[in-house]
Amino acid sequence: MPTLHDQVQSRRTFAIISHPDAGKTTLTEKLLLFGGAIRDAGTVKARKTGKYATSDWMEIEKQRGISVTSSVMQFDYNDFRVNILDTPGHQDFSEDTYRTLMAVDSAVMVVDSAKGIEDQTMKLFKVCRMRGIPIFTFINKMDRQGKEPLELLAELEEVLGIETYPMNWPIGMGKDFVGIYDRFNNRIEQFKSEDETNRFLPLNEEGELEIEHELQESPLYEQTLEEIMLLSEAGNQFSEEKIANGTLSPVFFGSALTTFGVQTFLDAYLQFAPAPQARMSTSGEVDPESEDFSGFIFKIQANMNPKHRDRIAFLRICSGKFERGMSVNLSRTGKPINLSSSTQFLADDRNTVNEAVSGDIIGLYDTGNYQIGDTITTSKEMYQFERLPQFTPELFVRVTAKNVMKQKHFHKGIHQLVQEGAIQLFKTVRMEEYLLGAVGQLQFEVFEHRMRNEYNVEVLMERIGSKVTRWVEADKVDENLHSSRSILVKDRYDKYVFLFENDFALRWFEDKNPDIELYNPMDIK
């Protein structure tokens, strides 16, 4: 029987962050293949396209061809149990995407070698930096012509403000892709080798090929040796400490589609990625190996099928061991809850989980007990984990009830959905109009759908477009500063917030009002 210590130390829980089309799904699939969690490549994709849709959670997601079951995946590899959390992109981007990053211990950033750092990667990256978790970079699609590797590194460092350490280096790319020069394992891994036995070519102490090989004739080999020399002399030092606090990202090159460099990446990732760490709570740090069970809810998935009102609350376990039927306390209310039915999501099938420890994610059936950020624990102290951060909404709509007679239901619905974390609510200072803020369009659709089906209210939503949102540091603001280009609103905690038309309007405002201190809660300090 493995001890709790062994079990916790074997856990690696991460999210893959990327911009759509960088190859996140393809890489995930290849990782799952190594773990034997799926039999055929294509399974994750097939789920996405709805071929394997097994449940009726979230009608909207299903219409879009995404299944909830693919949002948490687990596999065993060597002595590790790996949990991958999906961070949905495209139109499905929502605050839940950000919150998912609160539940992981590290992140893998997939970058398309031809595109470099893109918008969505940047946003998700910021949240990872806010948490100070390790970030590993996989530069994908080396089988295609992309940007120069040195240029890509410079871009990572400049745009993201992080140090990089290339664990390996591509030899050529696109049609001329030979493989990777693996600095970490001191070998060359060939992209195409006639037989498996010579896929890896060892390097000597000088970092050159140990045995004679035709590669030595290639100008690409010479060029690679020069670049490696440059990296050793002018590049960053490898530092486990910096990896651990998220200030240096180990960089790997590869091609997910051809499964090249994926296992090399996985092996190094597992070596340097952290096992579950202690988490801060209202009674101090909670040790992941402590016997008391605890965890927090980071996402609630509503069932969009009106016949099934049940929801699923995603719980990240932070300590102890989950057992079926265990009794826990919900710290917010102090009420006991029996965890009789829980579901763990696997890539292969939806299995009922019997045992899970810190690092694992379980889905709990929810009949309305939970809110996002809730802590549950068996500890008598009933502590709460740190509040999840506020994420800066970028999209806004003005919302009213279609039928004025339905005001009561309208207010109740909005209040509960805001409480639950589905959407953010703001009120304009003058007219007290209701504005809803979101990070992705999907949140509005879910809101509308749930208002209709759960609260029996048709809502009218008038787009007011995307805004640059800044909170005001002070408690008081001159309400005359409200204008169409800088809408002044209050959030649900009565804090003043300005919604600027664009970055230009923000800068103009800052110039005119140097005494007003504005902040974005998602800025890296």
Least CB distance to ligand GDP at residue 273 (A): 20
For ligand GDP, the closer of residues 45 and 62 by Cβ is 45
Which candidate, 187, 189, 191, 188, places its Cα nearest to that of 174? 191
Least CB distance to ligand GDP at residue 18 (A): 5
In Å, how far from its chain's centre is CA 194? 39
Q: Which whole-number Å values give the CA distances from 366 to 85, 342, 389, 435, in the listed order? A: 20, 10, 23, 28
Stretch that binds ligand GDP, among 5-13, 16-24, 68-76, 332-340 (CB under 6 A): 16-24
Q: Which of 26, 74, 100, 301 binds ligand GDP (CB under 6 A)?
A: 26
Which candidate, 299, 271, 290, places its Cα nearest to that of 358? 290
96 close to 72: Cβ distance less than 8 angstroms = no
Binding-site entries for GTP: 18-25, 86-90, 140-143
For ligand GDP, the closer of residues 142 and 286 by Cβ is 142
HSE, CB side, 13 Å, CA atoms: give it for residue 86: 30
Query: From residue 241 to residue 270, what is the string marking binding to ligand GDP with x (rule CB under 6 A)?
Result: --------------xxx-------------
22 near ligand GDP, rule: CB under 6 A: yes
Least CB distance to ligand GDP at residue 27 (A): 7
User: CB atoms < 10 A from the CB of 430, how many?
Assistant: 11
For ligand GDP, the closer of residues 61 and 143 by Cβ is 143
Least CB distance to ligand GDP at residue 15 (A): 13
Q: Compute how many residues bind ligand GDP; rule: CB under 6 A.
A: 15
Least CB distance to ligand GDP at residue 19 (A): 7
CA pair distance 490, 114, nearest whole angstrom:
42
Stretch that binds ligand GDP, among 6-14, 17-25, 94-102, 335-343 (CB under 6 A): 17-25
Q: What is the DSSP letter of 117?
A: S
383 close to 33: Cβ distance less than 8 angstroms = no
For ligand GDP, the closer of residues 25 and 190 by Cβ is 25
CB-based contacts of 151, cutoff 8 Å, min separation 6: 116
For ligand GDP, the closer of residues 110 and 318 by Cβ is 110
* Strand 355-357 relative to strand 311-319, pairing: unpaired
CA pair distance 184, 166, nearest whole angstrom:
9
Least CB distance to ligand GDP at residue 22 (A): 5
20 near ligand GDP, rule: CB under 6 A: yes
Least CB distance to ligand GDP at residue 365 (A): 29
Q: Which whole-number Å values give the CA distances from 519 to 392, 473, 509, in the listed order? A: 10, 7, 13
Q: Residue 400 — φ and ψ, nearest 5°?
A: -140, 165
382 close to 329: Cβ distance less than 8 angstroms = yes
Binding-site entries: 18-25, 86-90, 140-143
CA pair distance 236, 182, nearest whole angstrom:
16
For ligand GDP, the closer of residues 109 and 300 by Cβ is 109
24 near ligand GDP, rule: CB under 6 A: yes
Which candidate, 166, 208, 161, 165, places its Cα nearest to that of 187? 208
Q: What is the DSSP letter of 138?
A: E
288 close to 4: Cβ distance less than 8 angstroms = no
Stretch that binds ligand GDP, among 15-23, 188-196, 310-318, 360-368 (CB under 6 A): 15-23
Least CB distance to ligand GDP at residue 403 (A): 41
126 near ligand GDP, rule: CB under 6 A: no
Site for ligand GDP in 434-493 (CB under 6 A): none
Stretch that binds ligand GDP, among 20-28, 358-366, 374-382, 392-400 (CB under 6 A): 20-28
21 near ligand GDP, rule: CB under 6 A: yes
Least CB distance to ligand GDP at residue 175 (A): 12
Q: Which of 10, 12, 17, 23 binds ligand GDP (CB under 6 A)?
A: 23
H or E element, residue 90: none
* Strand 11-18 relative to strand 106-112, pairing: parallel
H or E element, residue 484: none
For ligand GDP, the closer of residues 47 and 141 by Cβ is 141
Which candidate, 435, 505, 96, 160, places its Cα nearest to that of 299? 96
Query: From residue 128 to residue 157, what is the string marking binding to ligand GDP with x (rule CB under 6 A)?
Result: ------------xx-xx-------------
The contact set with ligand GDP (CB under 6 A) reads 18, 20-26, 140-141, 143-144, 255-257
